[in-house]
């Protein structure tokens, strides 16, 4: 049985995309969001991003 070989280019682009998302998340912390700048909003946002990251990792693993 042969296994599908994933190109290193896929891993590089995935890493770049995650670093870009990290930079966006980090930079949004310094923006005044007015009434949306509350602890509840930020925790909901971070939990949503965590679920997205976990789902992406599971999806990426299913490709291998």
Query: Structure pTM?
Result: 0.48
Structure tokens at 27: 């930079």
Q: Is 19 within the bounds of a domain? A: yes
* Tokens coding 44: 């909901």
Report, as an integer, the average pLDDT of 16-21. 90
Does residue 29 belong to any structural domain of this protein? Answer: yes
Q: What is the pLDDT of residue 17?
A: 92
- Whether the per-residue pLDDT at 41 is higher than 60: the answer is no
Angstrom distances, CA of residue 17 to CA of 12, 28, 32, 36, 41: 9, 17, 25, 26, 24
Domain range for 35 is: 8-63
Q: Answer whether residue 20 is part of any domain.
A: yes
pLDDT given for residue 44 in this prediction: 62
Q: Is 1 inside a domain boundary? A: no
Q: What share of the chain is helix, strand, coil (3-state, %, to 5)?
A: 75, 0, 25
Model pLDDT, residue 53: 80
Structural domain count, the chain: 1
For the residues 26-42, what does the mean pLDDT come to? 71
In a domain, 59, yes or no: yes
Sign of CA dihedral 59, 62, 63, 64: positive
Tell me, yes or no, whether 58 lies in a domain: yes
Average pLDDT over residues 3-10: 85
In a domain, 3, yes or no: no
Answer yes or no: is 2 within a domain: no
């Amino acid at each position: 049985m042969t296994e599908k070989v994933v190109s290193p280019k896929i891993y590089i682009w995935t890493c770049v995309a995650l670093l870009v998302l990290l930079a966006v998340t980090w930079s949004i912390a310094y923006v005044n969001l007015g009434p949306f700048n509350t602890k509840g909003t930020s925790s909901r946002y971070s939990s949503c991003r965590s679920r997205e990251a976990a789902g992406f990792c599971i999806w990426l693993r299913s490709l291998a």
